[in-house]
Amino acid sequence: METWNSEGAKKVLILSSSPRLEGNSRGLAVSFAAGAREAGHEVVVVDLVRHVRHMLGYCRTCRDGDGECSLDDDFKPLFLHLYLAADAIVFATPIWWYGMSSHMKNFIDRMSCYISESSPHGAQAKPRVMGKRVALLLSAEESSFASRLGLVSQVAEFCRHVRCSFVGVVTGLGNLHGEVDRDPTNPLEEARLMGQRLFDLEDTDYELDTPRSVVVWLDGSGRFPSYWR
Ligand SMILES: Cc1cc2nc3c(=O)[nH]c(=O)nc-3n(C[C@H](O)[C@H](O)[C@H](O)COP(=O)(O)O)c2cc1C
């Protein structure tokens, strides 16, 4: 398992969650990583299927005598050392049955065991789950926007719940291995740009009394709008 090395650089953890290790989601993840590295960030790409083999169980029966999760795989170092220290999390997933892959869902489920108050890691982990930037890279066969609304909405609610900033989505259409590179909307390039701009993306969502300018595009602000594609 990789670790973080650089002092000072923003840390971007990309969790690629397709079992097709050189497939479309991985392709988007690699392009995003290239863009983030161009911007000077430290990036780690992790294939979840290589490290997280067990599904969340019933914590009361899975925990050992010290209250530690006894599921025997790499979730613990991945979560405690890579995820909690990251400034941004990027989920790359194929759409499966109009939702995220079971591997991505299981990763999020497994976090519950570590952030609950009954976990020996809960007090330390809970505040560090919050305050990150989150981006989503999707691979899908179907172009229908409605077919990905459920998944986007679930990630948005996850981000709201853990007080993270959801800065957008890039969707690549394809089914065959690597076919997203033939998508004429060029999702690989969009993913690269999103990686470059990750910490400049701003998702504006105002309340009635939010102080703001009536001008949306301020010259030279250096900010980019969030992507929802
Ligand atoms: C179990 C399964 C369910 C799928 N469900 C959907 C779906 O609901 N909508 C869709 O557009 N594509 C669906 N697909 C197609 C994949 O999203 C598509 O092939 C994607 O490019 C695969 O990405 P990958 O190469 O990263 O695995 C499904 C594929 C599988 C294997």
- In this structure, which residue's CA is closest to atom 29 in ligand 1? 96
Eight-class DSSP state of 180: G
Mean pLDDT of the chain: 95
Burial class (CB in 10 A: 0-12, 13-18, 19+), 157: exposed
pLDDT band, very low/low/confident/very high, at 170 (cuts 50, 70, 90): very high
Q: Which two tokens stand for residue 39?
A: 């911007």
Mean pLDDT of 23-42: 98
State the pLDDT at residue 11. Answer: 98
Predicted pLDDT of residue 224:
83
Q: Is residue 220 over pLDDT 80?
A: no
Quote the pLDDT of residue 7.
84
* 93-129 pLDDT tens trace: 999 999 999 999 999 999 999 999 999 999 999 999 9
Q: What is the mean pLDDT of residues 175-192?
A: 97
Which residues surround ligand 1 with Cβ inside 6 Å?
18, 20, 23-25, 94-98, 139-142, 147, 174-175
Ligand 1 closest atom vs CA 172 = 21
pLDDT at 202: 84
**Other beta carbons within 10 Å of 3:** 9
The helix (run of H) or strand (run of E) holding residue 139 is strand 133-140
* Region 165-192 average pLDDT: 96
What average pLDDT score do residues 10-33 get?
A: 98
Tell me the domains of the chain and their CATH numbers: 11-228 (3.40.50.360)
What is the average pLDDT across 213-227? 79
- 99, two tokens: 């939702």
Answer yes or no: is pLDDT of 41 > 90.
Answer: yes
Share of the chain above pLDDT 70, in %: 100
How confident is the model at residue 124, as a pLDDT? 95
- Inform me whether the pLDDT recorded for 199 exceeds 80: yes
Residue of minimum CA distance from atom 17 in ligand 1: 140
pLDDT at 229 over 90: no
Contact 120, 68 (CB under 8 A): yes
Give the pTM: 0.96
Quick one: which atom of ligand 1 is closest to the CA of 144? 11
222 vs 30: which has the higher pLDDT: 30
Instruction: Say how far apart CA 56 and CA 75 lie, in whole Å.
Output: 11
* pLDDT score at 218: 74
Report the run of H or E that residue 224 belongs to, with start and end: strand 224-225
pLDDT tier at 45, thresholds 50, 70, 90? very high
Atom 6 of ligand 1: nearest residue by CA position = 96
Is 90 exceeded by the pLDDT of residue 219?
Answer: no
